[in-house]
Amino acid sequence: MNEYVAVLTTVDNKMEAEGLAKTLVGERLAACLQIIGPIRSTYWWKGTMETAEEWLCWMKTRTVLYPALEKRLAELHSYETPQIVALPIVRGSEQYFAWMNEVLAQGRPPAEQEGEPG
């Protein structure tokens, strides 16, 4: 299993994206959240093809934190069925991963950090 994942979701306005960023990064469930947009999405919803302007939220986290991140994101999200997709990060710079480990570990009690690679 990969140690790191990129998590994507979309929201319908920049303000919600910024709120997700402050909350999820603030709670140290994501090391960072990048907001990209506006983007144009086309999809099926309840039998109708829809097109909407959305904002893409691109987060990076550790795989072990994904369940908590997914749960929190679902709680905060305004969509009935939000896109929450995790993609494995198969390679990256050692310095970036060290930074991610440092900032994500700061939000968890020391007992949860024991035994995890630094």
57: exposed, middle or buried (Cβ count in 10 Å: 0-12, 13-18, 19+): buried
Per-domain residue ranges for the chain? 4-113
DSSP letters along the chain, please?
Answer: --SEEEEEEEESSHHHHHHHHHHHHHTTSSSEEEEEEEEEEEEEETTEEEEEEEEEEEEEEEGGGHHHHHHHHHHH--SSS---EEEE-----HHHHHHHHHHHHTTS-HHHHTTS--
Q: What is the tens place of the pLDDT at every residue in 34-59?
A: 999 999 999 999 999 999 999 999 99
CA nearest neighbour of 64 among 83, 84, 81, 86: 86
4-113: CATH topology = Alpha-Beta Plaits (3.30.70)
From first to last of its 118 residues, the chain has per-residue pLDDT tens of 579 999 999 999 999 999 999 999 999 999 999 999 999 999 999 999 999 999 999 999 999 999 999 999 999 999 999 999 999 999 999 999 999 999 998 765 444 444 443 3
What pLDDT was estimated at residue 106? 78
pTM: 0.86
Q: Which two tokens stand for residue 43?
A: 């999809």
